[in-house]
Amino acid sequence: MPLMAQSSSEADFLSVNKIFTNHMVLQRDQPIHIWGKGLPGATVRVELTARRDVSVNLAASLSDAAASRQVSAVARVKGDSTWSVYLPAQSASTMPHDVKIISDKKNILISNVLLGDIWICIGQSNMEWPMQREMYYREAMATANQPLLRFYNPTYAGKNVFNQYFSDSVLQMMQPEKFFAPTSWQVSDSNSFRTMSAVAYYYGKSIIENTQVPIGLINLSIAGAPLETFIGVDALKSDERFAAKAIEPWLTNPAIPVWVKERGNQNLRAGTNHPFKPGHVYEAGLKPLFPLAIKGMINYQGESNAQELERVWEYGALTQLMVQNFRGRFQQPMLPYFFVQLSSIDSVKYKGQYWHLFRDEQRKIMERVSYSGMAVCTDYGLKDNVHPTNKKMVGERLARWALNKEYGLSIVPSGPLPLRAEYANGQLQITFNHAIDGLATADGKPLRGFSLDGIHEVSARIQKGRLQIGKAVSSGAEMIVIDCEKQPEYIYYDWKPYTDGNLVNREQLPTSTFKIKVHLKKQQ
């Protein structure tokens, strides 16, 4: 009898890495790397075979012809007991496959495997937020059975332990190799999707509905996590701007966000390992995945890095370092990185007084990081709650970037993003990207949200004009016009923590918070 994906104690001389389990997705269009351990000197054969007798989708397989043949690879176990093989790249397929790993008389069977795209999901509580607490959870139950959508959704040590010390057993689980609990891939259904990240679920579901490409989601989000925990310590040390973040003890390190250290000190009476420690989730969850081929990364994070000005101003460069780190370690220099901009919140009950500055720094990440995109969600923020429960809108807006940039769909990926502000003859004109089909107000009322000083709102209007993006020129494009007697230094939009700006494009997607310099318009 073949062993199932997680080998038993009788097969200690043959094992496969824990990421490989039944119901998983293997990355399409890239060589398929599979690795494990065995008896030194032994031969290991890995076979990938389509199961022609069954399909998880009523539609034809995306690549039935390619799926009809078996592919295999052979390796010899090294002296350190490790083995590794690469199978040839395969096209996407909705047809279930079996992976069989054979060495002497022992074998491991991994079944119901699809070929599609793997997205790694990181972030803090708004990414972790589960479907069972999401606004549209009850409605979503009806369509939760998504055979092309697969989750790898481990829980982690110390989850939901606040304002108290970790127990001895939790402290022992803080070691990176024990931090994430053992789990296996699951097919999306009304049971498995309950604890899955709601943002990630809606993201994957939207891609499948539009492309029929199988999607695998690996969820490594951690409530409260600062960005630093997702970045390797070596990467931090290698950058003189952020080397101080790697200095121990991190619990008293002035380069770490204050709130993050407060939480760490509440939990730790011994040791330094903690979900918020710089590099911890990187070591525990991301580093073990680097040999795996993936499609890209999505992230919803920032609240823990937005409470002090120094942390706000560094966030764009810190994100750039993180993405460079991922791309180097995954050996994918064009690895897509799509992220969610913080929403909006009042600063009366929450320390969100810098959120507008932070959102603008997030907007600039798209200029720093190639192959990136940002979902704007300021219109769904709550005045006194950092956890808006409408994650459906967030996940679907995030998916727009992927559908446009990675799946080639003719879909508007974003709300208006500012291109340029120019002043001439008593008028300030602001042009936007992602507004080629026109601008509007979300509520049909006069425009709100514009300011010349970041404090006092000014009247603005939508007007047709001439827009140039690269070499393309549109004479009928719409822009924002503001009457003012003299040239201002900057133009601001939604420049406060809790926003009420109402500028959208024809897709009803909101405009990002921004502060941009005003230029004197060259006379034609």
Q: How far apart are CA 496 and CA 448, in angstroms?
A: 12
Average the pLDDT over 424-444 and give the result.
Answer: 95
Q: Is the pLDDT of residue 179 over 70?
A: yes
How far apart CA 134 and CA 198 sit, in angstroms, is 7
pLDDT at residue number 271: 92
pLDDT tens string 372-427: 999 999 999 999 999 999 999 999 999 999 999 999 999 999 999 999 999 999 99
H-run or E-run covering 95? strand 93-103
In the chain the domains, ranked by start, together with CATH numbers, are 9-116 (2.60.40.1930), 124-405 (3.40.50.1110), 417-520 (2.60.40)
Contact 216, 185 (CB under 8 A): yes
Q: Which amino acid, residue 290?
A: F
What number is the average pLDDT over the span 506-510? 97
Q: Can you tell me the distance from the alpha carbon of 3 to that of 12, in angstroms, rounded to the nearest whole number?
A: 12
Torsion angle (degrees, nearest 10) of CA 402, 403, 405, 408: 150
- Which pLDDT score, from 0 to 100, does residue 56 have? 58
Between 473 and 313, the higher pLDDT residue:
313
Residue 347 tokens read as 């600063």
pLDDT at residue 348 in the model:
85
Tens-digit pLDDT profile for residues 93-134: 999 999 999 999 999 999 999 999 999 999 999 999 999 999
- pLDDT tier, 67 (very low <50, low <70, confident <90, very high otherwise): very low
Written as one string, the DSSP assignment of 414-426 is SS-EEEEEEEETT
Buried b (16+ CB within 10 A) or exposed e, 2-40: ebebbbeeebebbbbbbbbbbbbbbbbebebbbbbbbbe
**pLDDT over 90 (residue 461):** yes
Residue 425 tokens read as 């003859």
Asked whether residue 68 carries a pLDDT value surpassing 60, the answer given is no
Of 411, 417, 274, 433, nearest to 359 by C-alpha is 417
Residue 321 has pLDDT above 80, yes or no: yes
Q: How confident is the model at residue 57 (pLDDT cuts 50, 70, 90)?
A: low
Q: What percent of the chain has pLDDT over 90?
A: 89
Query: pLDDT grade, residue 59 (50/70/90)?
Result: very low
The confidence band for 467, taking pLDDT boundaries of 50, 70 and 90, is: low
The closest of 52, 489, 397, 351 to 206, measured between CA atoms, is: 397
* CB 26 within 8 Å of CB 114: yes
pLDDT interval class at 53 (50, 70, 90):
low
Give the mean pLDDT of the chain: 93
Q: What pLDDT was estimated at residue 102?
A: 97
